[in-house]
Amino acid sequence: MPNEPEVSENARQRLDPASGAFEAQEQEPPGLTTAMTPMPDHGEETYVGHGKLDGQAALITGGGSGIGRAVAIAYAREGADVAISYLPEEQSDAEETAHWVEQAGRTAVLLPGDIGEEQTARTIVRDAVAKLARLDILVNNAGVQRARREHGLASVRTEEMDETFKVNLYAMFWITQESLHHLGEGASIINTTSIQAYEPSESLVDYAATKAAILNFTINMAEQLGPQGIRVNAVAPGPIWTPLQPATKPAESMTRFGKNTPLGRAGQPAEVAPAFVFLASPADASYVSGTVLGVTGGRAVG
């Protein structure tokens, strides 16, 4: 396992809750990490592994940035090889994620493509298995949203709804179906839902609906796959500082981002990744299935 990384002054500043104020900023979707101010913390300089996933192989959708990058780094430092699915426009972000995986001494596989297309979604699973020789952990993390200045159902356009449902839901079905050819007893599926499944925002009506559906899918799959020894769980993040935020919301909303939590701030991707490690770890969560872990800054889930 890698030595414990030195924590730089920059990392300390990023992890300080008092520094959780963000400037007004906006990007074109899907957004890039390098254009964010401040830069998110993915645990690059702070996460220390303990061999919880030694010898395992994971596929993470939406693994190029944000929560996906933090999970990839954590999994690698816990001993897993990692395949990362991402949009081609996010190539630079994905390469940075791969750098951190490889620095931990693990294999990184880059799988660009739009998983909102069925053939691509199924192909990334086959490619991940071909290059990693096995699949033990599936993280259905990729998601899109589009916050609307005009709230309400009337503002939802069919083409935008199609994209949201295909990436957030259809792809999860396709990728999970394909993965079942390779996942065996002891394997783990972890889906990313959201606080939006419990407290839907008017401006995110279609996105919130998909996140509620992911809860249902998680419970259903836990019931279906339990007899095969496959555990299925979900993580429900609250407001987390990722490229999805400035790329899909009005610039001025960033100055208030995360302030509506009991902790009074947004979370960092590094603060979400340990939940994914716990759920994937056979030593820690062998009897945990059909469960949703909230990482929400104090907002209630369930």
- Give the residue numbers annotated as catalytic, written as ranges: 207
Residue type at 22 in one-letter notation: F
* Cβ-based neighbour number of residue 151 at 10 Å: 13
Gyration radius of the chain's alpha carbons: 18
DSSP H helices, the chain, are: 9-15, 66-77, 91-103, 118-132, 158-165, 171-179, 205-225, 244-248, 273-280, 282-285
**For 5, which DSSP code?**
P
Classify 7 as helix, strand or coil: coil
Name the β-bridge partners of 108. 82
Calpha distance 178→256 (Å, rounded): 40
In what helix (H) or strand (E) does residue 110 lie, and over which residues does it extend? strand 108-112
C-alpha closest to that of 250 among 33, 35, 26: 26
Report whether 198 contacts 258 (CB < 8 A). no
**For 41, which DSSP code?**
P
Calpha distance 194→183 (Å, rounded): 25
Tokens of 220: 């259903």
Calpha distance 15→9 (Å, rounded): 10
C-alpha closest to that of 94 among 77, 79, 78, 109: 109
Instruction: Give first-to-last CA distance, the chain, whole Å.
Output: 36
